[in-house]
Structure 1
Amino acid sequence: MAEQSEVNEQCCTLPPFKSDYVPVGKRFTLQIEGQDDLEVYETGDPDAKQALVAIHDIFGLHSNTLQGADYLAQLRGYRIVIPDFFRGKGWDINDIPPKAGRPALNAWVQEVGSWEKVQPGLIATVENARRLGAASIGAYGFCFGAKKLVQGAHLKLFKCMGFIHPTNFQPEDADNVDVPIALLPSQGEDPKAMDAFYGKIQTKPIADASVRQDFLDVHHGFASARSNWADPKLANRAREAYQVLDAFFQRNL
């Protein structure tokens, strides 16, 4: 699959909300052959048989993203792991909009977040979850992370996948997807692209098990780094998104 790495307009213009949230999970390190060690955030029940692998947005392991994972883990007792594919060097939260312009951000994402760099760590994270007893593994991704999940769909690592305010989805991204999906677009995504992608999903045997719920009253990133849990409306919509994911995973894991 072609490396479609461009980010959308709101991703280039809206900075993440700063937060003093203290995540309740822990961190551990995986060794990846040919790459630097991979730090992974873990939250939820470490003995859970249902595990979720989450892929962050361009800001890496931002506290708002981790707060969402903590919330989702508490809903049903999942074990959730979020590998830090940027090795602690996500995009600078103070450089939005990018001082060097949108092309600089696009180039950075294509370089540090290429599928070739993400794939080994993603496979290692899944293999580690299986070693630790996970019997059923799903995944969800935000923005950049959602794109990585569709790029890796051919590996068949997950029983089901959730895509929350995905970046730069193309209709053909659905071609290799053969497990149930949850699509949660915000106002920041191209509605024609969302319709075309989900339209292709609806032609597949996974159609009845898949779900789409639009969050068009909130901005791109509202459930990850650009979430604001101190704002009642945004916090409520973020919780609703995670509740949609919870119901979806319960049906399909």
Structure 2
Amino acid sequence: MASFISACCNRAPAKAEYTPIGTMTQDASGMAYYISGSAKAKRGVVFLYDVFGLHPNAYQVADALALEGLRVVIPDVLEGKPLTSADMKQEAVLKDFKARRGTYAYCRPMIKAAIDVLRAEGCENIGAIGLCWGAKLAMCALGDQDGICVDSGVMLHPSMLELADFERAQGPILLLLSKDEADFTDMFAVASAKPFGAHSYMERFSKQAHGFCGARGDFANPEVVCDVNRALALTIAFFKTGSVTQLENPTAV
């Protein structure tokens, strides 16, 4: 597995307060997950958080999607054991994480269970959204042809992505980058050349640091919130209509 980008290891999660509007529950296997939005929704989203897990910002972003008519499930793929800022500075901890419980193979059953929850409720179209490390999981799900069947993927300030992830993609991609990620132009071109490539879109938020939509985001900072709102507006349009419109004044939250 590719490495975390350096900005991922050097910034602690933000302190935040937020009261979720959804519900924490478990499936028959005991997998814990958060679910938000109308049970009558026909479009569902599997939300794959960053390594800091069920942070208040993760709930807030998921709820913002849910309030726009999407049914959102956050499978607790870290099983109640998120990484800490101290963990991110310990090479041995990161090496073990990347080799074991941070792999797509380990998380796949929980991602599939989340998809099954949405399918059972009647969702006809299911997308995956991933933040940082979660974007790696979302990309893997988008390229998984063995019973996962994700229709599209949103990658927010991704980490660990490789060319092979774009080569395997089986649906359109919305790639939203901060100032800290590498140049994805060549990799994105691979996905854009696919039959569904015209529906993919990439944008860089050049004033924002890695993690601005996730646990590291300072949602009390108006400049951060402005770009989070744009990222959410693009994400909502992408999941609801299959395309992205250039919005001058996004109002997602």
TM score, norm. by length of structure 2: 0.89
- 2:64 is aligned to 71
Query: Counterparts of 2:224 and 2:92 in 1: how far apart (Å)?
Result: 29
Aligned residues: 240
- 2:46 is aligned to 53
Superposition pairs for residues 1-253 of structure 1, below 5 Å? 4-32=1-29, 37-74=30-67, 76-93=68-85, 95=86, 98=89, 101-152=90-141, 153-155=143-145, 156-191=148-183, 194-252=184-242
Equivalent position amino acid for 1:134 in 2: C
Contact 1:58 1:109 in 2 (8 A): no
Query: Counterparts of 1:12 and 1:247 in 2: how far apart (Å)?
Result: 31
Contact 2:2 2:161 in 1 (8 A): no
Deviation of residue 5 (structure 1)? 4.5
Query: Counterparts of 1:5 and 1:189 in 2: how far apart (Å)?
Result: 13
Contact 2:26 2:33 in 1 (8 A): yes
Kindly, what percent of the aligned residue pairs are identical?
29
Deviation of residue 189 (structure 1)? 1.0
Query: Counterparts of 2:38 and 2:107 in 1: how far apart (Å)?
Result: 25
Query: Counterparts of 1:8 and 1:147 in 2: how far apart (Å)?
Result: 12
Flag structure 2 segments of 5+ consecutive residues without an equivalent.
244-253
TM score, norm. by length of structure 1: 0.89
Quick one: higher RCO (CA 8 Å, sep 6+), 1 or 2? Answer: 1
Deviation of residue 97 (structure 1)? 5.2
Provide the aligned C-alpha RMSD in A.
1.7
Contact 1:164 1:185 in 2 (8 A): yes
Query: Counterparts of 1:232 and 1:8 in 2: how far apart (Å)?
Result: 26
| 1:111-156 deviation per Cα after TM superposition (whole angstroms, max 9, x unaligned) | 2211221111111111121111112111111111110122232235
Query: Counterparts of 1:46 and 1:245 in 2: how far apart (Å)?
Result: 20
Contact 1:57 1:144 in 2 (8 A): yes
Query: Counterparts of 2:87 and 2:230 in 1: how far apart (Å)?
Result: 27
Query: Counterparts of 1:49 and 1:245 in 2: how far apart (Å)?
Result: 16
Equivalent position amino acid for 2:55 in 1: H
Query: Counterparts of 1:96 and 1:123 in 2: how far apart (Å)?
Result: 28
Deviation of residue 96 (structure 1)? 6.3
* CA gap 1:106/1:10 in 2 versus in 1, 3 angstroms: farther
Deviation of residue 231 (structure 1)? 0.9
Deviation of residue 19 (structure 1)? 0.7
Equivalent position amino acid for 1:130 in 2: R
Flag structure 1 segments of 5+ consecutive residues without an equivalent.
none
Query: Counterparts of 2:229 and 2:206 in 1: how far apart (Å)?
Result: 15
Deviation of residue 26 (structure 1)? 0.7
